[in-house]
């Protein structure tokens, strides 16, 4: 029996795949758990149409992310912190601080998308990678200065 997977099924396939399974497996396992539907002509046509809509939406989101990446490439964030002896920071600069600095510049970036290996603990200029969508990322300069 041919079925269309509604969800990922381990060792069988991913969402949207059309796979051949035994009748009993489909009737007794996949259908009751809403993991698959029968691959009729109508369901295959609906699947094709929904894949087209999703791909169009993905391309629009990717284009928007690329535009944002271009804008972010020109941005540099200046973060001021108290400094001790030998220009060592009291505390550190983390993703929360970078998120706040970007918000002040007019960019709303979720802190989960800011990739910072470890918190910044010294003065200087640091490149910080920001993931905007799958395959699209930008790099922002973060300048940490000492407070007078």
Euclidean distance between CA atoms 40 and 5, whole angstroms: 13
**Class (C level, CATH) for 2-62:** alpha beta
Which DSSP string do the residues of 18-76 spell out, in sequence order? EEE--HHHIIIIITTTTSEEE--HHHHHHHHHHHHHHHHHHHHHHHHHHHHHHHHHT-E
Superfamily of domain 66-146: Ribosomal protein L9, C-terminal domain (3.10.430.100)
1 pLDDT band, cuts 50/70/90, is very high
Q: Which residue has the higher pLDDT, 133 or 41?
A: 41
Q: How do residues 11-39 score in pLDDT, each as one tens digit? A: 898 888 999 999 999 999 999 999 999 99
Residues 55-86: tens digit of each pLDDT: 898 889 899 999 999 999 998 999 999 988 77
Tell me: pLDDT of 148 over 80: no
C-beta of residue 125 within 8 angstroms of C-beta of residue 142 = yes
What is the mean predicted confidence (pLDDT) over 42-49? 91
Query: What is the pTM for the complete model shown?
Result: 0.66
Residue 120 three-state SS: strand
Q: What integer pLDDT is reported at residue 135 of this predicted model?
A: 84
Domain residue ranges of the chain, discontinuous segments joined by +:
2-62, 66-146
Neighbours of 106 (CB within 10 A): 8
3-state secondary structure of 14: coil
Residue 139 CA to residue 83 CA, distance in Å, equals 26
pLDDT digits (tens, 9 = 90+) for 91-127: 889 999 999 999 999 999 999 999 998 999 889 999 9
For the sheet containing 2-5, what is the strand order?
Answer: 18-20, 2-5, 36-38
Share of residues in the chain with pLDDT > 70 (%): 99
Residue-averaged pLDDT of the chain? 91
C-alpha to C-alpha distance for 58 and 110, rounded to whole angstroms: 19
């Amino acid at each position: 029996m041919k079925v269309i997977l509604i969800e990922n099924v381990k060792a069988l396939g991913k969402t949207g795949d059309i796979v051949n399974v035994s009748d009993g497996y489909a009737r007794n396992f996949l259908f009751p758990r809403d993991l698959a539907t029968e691959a009729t002509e109508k369901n295959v046509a609906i699947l094709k149409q929904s894949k087209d809509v999703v791909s169009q939406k993905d391309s629009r989101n990717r284009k928007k992310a690329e535009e944002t990446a271009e804008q972010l490439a020109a941005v540099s964030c200046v973060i001021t912190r108290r400094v001790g002896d030998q220009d060592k920071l009291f505390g550190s600069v983390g993703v929360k601080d970078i998120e706040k600095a970007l918000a002040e510049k007019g960019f709303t970036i979720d802190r989960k998308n800011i990739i910072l290996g470890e918190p910044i603990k010294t003065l200087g200029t640091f490149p910080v990678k920001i993931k905007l969508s799958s395959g699209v990322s930008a790099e922002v300069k973060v300048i940490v200065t000492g407070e007078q």
